[in-house]
Structure 1
Amino acid sequence: MRPEEALQGIDVVVLAGELGSRLRGVPGDTPKVLAPVAGRAFLGHLLDHFAGFGARRVVLCLGHRADRVTAWLAQGGARRGLEVTCSVEPRPLGTAGALRFVRGELGSDPVLVANGETFLDADLRAFVASHRLSGAQASVLCAEVPDTGRYGRVEIGPDGRIRRFDGRRPGHGVVGAGIYLFSAAFLDRLAASDAASLERDVLEAAAPGALHAHVSRARLLDIGAPEDHAGDHAGDRDDDDRGGP
């Protein structure tokens, strides 16, 4: 499989319903996905990354100030040939609630889900292949970082399955990168639940071994951290991806 074929036929969902009030130098009513990174809206980098791996359809889950994002799209923010659909939640639903809200618009199996605040320039071809080989209904793309205290550590067993989410502890380790592959069956169960937070109520509540992990050494960019979103390295990558800790 060529890199540009990795996401062909796979719907992509970007969870982008939060505000940018935590970002230094960015107006508080600006959606985080429009925060400037390397001279461009963060969302532009995300969409280009997915399109580069063959994505053709992206659903944006938006909330307050969705009009800013739709205006950015109307001005040509997204790459040509990429179908971008905006779903505006009627009230804050949480990350799991946002997925529940758009479940009926998603037709592929699996679906790639991405947190709109983080960027990992990893090889998504390797992630998709690892997910399919694992046989799991849900896979989490993870990253090795020098300090897990900012994110929350993920403990992975020798079988590549997540044993637990271990909270924020200092030191080198593996963290979730905010990118997931979910089967249709997994999304159907989520849609039938009353979970609000994808991370807390769904992933962290999963039984040990239920979730597959694919670990990348690519650089993790978090626009919620001033030292990250002010940088200019959104495109840096180390392509050494592997399916274990």
Structure 2
Amino acid sequence: MKALIFAAGLGERMRPLTLHTPKPLLPVAGKPLIVWHLERLAALGVREVVVNISWLAGAFAPTLGDGSQWGMRLHFVNEGDTPLETGGGILNALPALGDAPFLVVNGDIWTDLDFATLPREPAGQAHLVMVDNPAQHPHGDYRLDAEGVLHHDRAGDCLTYAGIGVYRPSIVADWRQVIGTAAGSERTPPRFSVVPLQKHFMAQGLVTGQHHRGRWTDVGTVDRLRALEAALGWSNG
């Protein structure tokens, strides 16, 4: 199985820390945030990881190398000056990902999830990891039913998408039919979110999920970064 790490974000809410360092390369408890993911992927046996990059793209290869230190190969896919968002990022990375299901991880989260709990391929189009709703996102995203199927009808309590999942490449096969003429779809390569595609296939019962009850942080602000380091018992001084 290959993996895709979303690392192309601008990190605007994390400035000034991200003025000279991309958010996934910010140190968390002594090592870059993205390295936590690479170590977990290596433990799973993933040997090829695609990293989509944009903001300060030139910083990634000198920091991470070619992946050999984790027993893997890193492929950096530069999206240019404007990130392509999650759906466009998947579509743009498909030549490097291939035809088999792949694992996706947001580069700006931290979690203790054991990636071995994820299926090697989803039952439908995607399998998403859900977490308890954080303070900044109290209403959640999707409802996980007793059979492990996800719904976007908000007909009950919802959980938050953790930014981790296993996708089939076909999730973006008919992206234009689902996205329509949304802003960014006219670009080459197109820029669009994967969320409408998730909802499209949820309506068909083709997205499953699991509830991770362990630790998870969306490292979206400086305060959350500092709180995470404190929770990990790390002191900068």
Q: How high is the TM-score relative to the length of structure 2?
A: 0.79
- Quick one: structure 1 residues 36 and 82, their matched pair in 2 at CA, closer, same or farther if it must change by over 3 Å? same
State how 1:178-189 maps to structure 2 within 5 Å: 178-189=163-174
Gaps of 5+ in 1: 1-9, 167-171, 236-245
- 1:147: Cα distance to partner? 4.0
Q: Is the 8 A contact 2:21 2:59 kept in 1?
A: yes
1:200 equivalent in alignment to 2:188: no
Which structure 2 residue ranges, 5 or more long, are not aligned?
Answer: 180-184
Once the two structures are superposed, residues 201-234 of structure 1 have per-residue CA deviations (whole angstroms, 9 ceiling, x without a partner) of 3223444332111111111121103343222356
Query: Which SS does the other structure have where 2:4 is aligned?
Result: strand
1:213 corresponds to: 209
For the residue of structure 2 that corresponds to 1:60, the secondary structure is: strand
Query: What residue in structure 1 maps to residue 129 of structure 2?
Result: 141
When residues 191 and 70 of structure 1 are mapped into structure 2, their CA distance, relative to the original with a 3 A threshold, is farther
Residue pair 1:15, 1:113 contacting (<8 A) in 2 also: yes
Residue pair 2:127, 2:165 contacting (<8 A) in 1 also: yes
Change (3 A) 1:102 1:151: farther
Post-superposition Cα deviations, 1:120-145, rounded to whole Å, max 9, x if no partner, equal: 2212222216x55xx22211111124
Cα distance in 2 between the residues matched to 1:227 and 1:165: 32
The question of 1:81 aligning with 2:71 is answered yes
Greater Cα offset, 20-29 or 102-111:
20-29
In 2, Cα distance between equivalents of 1:125 and 1:182? 15
Distance in 2 (alpha carbons) for counterparts of 1:79 and 1:118: 22
**CA pair 212-184 structure 1, distance change in 2 beyond 3 A:** same
**Is the Cα–Cα contact under 8 Å of residues 155 and 164 in structure 1 kept in the other structure?**
yes
1:157 aligns with 2:142: no
- SS for the counterpart of 1:51 is helix
Structure 1 equivalent of residue 91 of structure 2 = 100
TM-score, normalised to structure 1's length? 0.76
- 1:190 to partner: Cα distance: 4.3
Post-superposition shift, 1:165? 6.7
Indicate if the aligned counterparts of 1:152 and 1:165 stay in contact, CA closer than 8 A.
no
Within 5 Å, which residues of 2 pair with 1:216-227? 216-227=212-223
**Alignment map for 1:1-245 (pairs within 5 Å):** 10-23=1-14, 26-74=17-65, 79-92=69-82, 93-107=84-98, 109-128=100-119, 132=122, 135-145=123-133, 147=135, 149=137, 152-164=140-152, 166=154, 174-190=159-175, 194=185, 196-208=191-203, 209-230=205-226, 231-232=228-229, 233=231
Question: Could you say if the C-alpha distance between residues 53 and 190 of structure 1 is closer, same or farther in structure 2, counting changes exceeding 3 Å?
Answer: farther
Shift of 1:73: 1.8
Q: Post-superposition shift, 1:108?
A: 5.1
In the alignment, is the contact (CA less than 8 A) between 1:155 and 1:163 conserved in 2? Answer: yes
The 2-side partners of 1:196 and 1:234 are apart by: 36
Q: CA RMSD for the aligned pairs? A: 2.9
- Per-residue CA deviation, residues 48-102 of structure 1 (Å, 9 max, x unaligned), is 111111111100000121001122123x887331111101013422221111111
